[in-house]
Amino acid sequence: MEHISTPKVENVKLLDRYANRKAATGTLYLTATHLIYVDASAEVRKETWILHHHISSVEKLPLTTAGYPLLIHCKNFHVAHFVIGQERDCHDVFTSLLKLSQPVKPEELYAFSYNPKMSKENREMGWKLIDLKLDYQRMGIPNDYWEVTDINKDYEVCSTYPPEIVVPRAATKAVVMGSSRFRSRGRIPVLSYLYKENNAALCRCSQPLAGFSARCLEDEQMLQAIREANPGSPFMYVVDTRPKLNAMANRAAGKGYENEDNYENIRFKFIGIENIHVMRSSLQKLLEVCEMKSPSMSDFLTGLENSGWLRHIKAVMDAGVFLAKAVREERVSVLVHCSDGWDRTAQVCSLAGLLLDPFYRTFKGFMVLIEKEWIAMGHKFSHRCGHLDGDPKEVSPVFTQFVECVWQLMQQFPCSFEFNERFLLELHDHVYSCQFGNFLGTCHKEREELRIFEKTHSLWPFLLQRKQELRNPLYRGFTAYKELQPNTLPFSFQFWCGMYNRFDKGMHPKQCVLDQLLSCISQKVTLEDNASELENKLPFLDGPLPSEGCSSPKAGPAAAKAPTPPQDCGEGAAPVLSNGPSLGHQKHKESPAQPRDLGASMGDGQAQHQG
């Protein structure tokens, strides 16, 4: 709280970018974790909550006749435009938000103070919910060709890999250690996914320290062991996800890519996905298009094309499709890398897994996939998401691109995923929120040093508790679609309004199909419960069934002798048969209650409180 000089400012206006209506007027509060705006002009109490960690930039705009504007851009693409009456108040809020949104120490992150009043046992159980060993067992590992080894338990092989990794059984410790010295940052080839049907493996690593002519016998033996672990294939692919020009530039720095002459029976292939700096610039251009007030169709489409964003999404998707086809159709093992193997490699390996395995399209499976390919394998969430005050050139929307690729798949295969768009948005929010410990730090070793598993809570139980509202009502089950084969022609990709203009309410349809379907399913469950309850009461009735007891007087003398049915038959059945709104549809008028405890932690994220 030491960064907050003015915790409350009244008569603050909140402008709406798209709706042509009068600006809201209300009170702005600053707490230890959130900026909270309470709209005093609304008939029903309306609050906007912005988590400090979600703020990516705060900008003071030139003075207007209405006051001093403050423009806030968030990492979840929320844009809030406030106008504050007094210059001093505006400056105080501005300087406070700069400090609150850019903590210097990891201990200042929200996760270390977030307290959902959960027992220690439940918190520990939450961290044990995802067990990667079980996923490898599901793939049939360990087996004759692959083993789970703790050779990295002291991080001697690689400081950014987890303690346990999966390597070919034929690879000796000498081969593993030798390969680690020849791979950038020691990130040796390890198993990502084993396709049980044909023993083809998807493996990942970093670039070799090959330069123009260097070679390493142990690294060559490691790749040979991976190839021989798939006896049915005479060769294996080595895929470099970088543009060839970038990889060649790395050669001059003593790094680079594999020489096919040095490795037995490999086929080398470049897939040109641009680097983190190009992606950061592309997203910035996309957001500028999203923030255009009244663009013409030509301006919007030209801006979207010039941003290159969907072109990059297509490149990532194409790479995932290539990997999946190589494993499934060609029955060939594949080794994938980029530069350090924690950005583009994570994107394409996790996408290939989604395409190949329906388990990863379930709630639990998707969580396993993210833990396995992103968290455990050392994607630098802290740097890429800008959790701490650091080098802005390290920030890049790598995970955002992966989430969008999943959404693009959901548009082509709407019945194949157990979760819905809202789940992806919630997940994306919490990658940046720092409310839970899963995405803090850059690797497993750093999370152990920060004592994440002792001091913070896991996101996964929190999301599973909300499974009902985050599920896809069109999901046809685990076995309906085995492999996915998406179309990656340019016309197959859509602009994701639900992500990039999510908070601009005026841009969204008046009726949400997802909400309607979930509501119908909820109403169906309620009706079934009521019917079941009535059926359970039937054995306790004396005499005829309720349908006979409630029959018309024209039924004859028998009806007169029938016992009066219990109240449940007459009045209790009415709500079930009513054509009116179900309980889930009744609008509850929010009482103009006093402001809630502003210092209290928010247990259910931020998105629910957006206007």
Residue in 338, 385, 405, 443 annotated catalytic: 338
Q: Please give the sequence-ordered ranges of beta strands (E in DSSP) within 144-196, or none if there are none.
A: 146-149, 165-168, 190-195
Do you find a cis peptide bond into 142, omega within 30 degrees of 0? yes
* β-sheet bridge partners, residue 70: 60, 82
Q: Which residue has the tokens 């109403």?
A: 523
Task: Supply the Cα-derived Rg of the chain in whole angstroms.
Answer: 28
Token representation of residue 529: 């419960």
Handedness of CA 585, 586, 588, 589 (dihedral sign): positive
> Is 520 designated active site?
no
Token representation of residue 582: 């179900």
Host H or E run for residue 266: strand 266-270
- Cα(349)–Cα(241) distance, rounded to whole angstroms? 11
Q: For the chain, how are helix, strand and coil distributed in percent, rounded to 5?
A: 45, 15, 40
DSSP per-residue string spanning 200-225: EEEEE---B--TTT---HHHHHHHHH
Q: How far is CA 589 from CA 40, 62, 486, 582, in A?
A: 16, 39, 45, 16
Nearest CA to 160 among 132, 131, 190? Answer: 190
Per the CB < 8 A criterion, the answer to whether 471 and 376 are in contact is no
- Count of H-run helices and E-run strands, the chain: 24, 14
Active site residues: 338
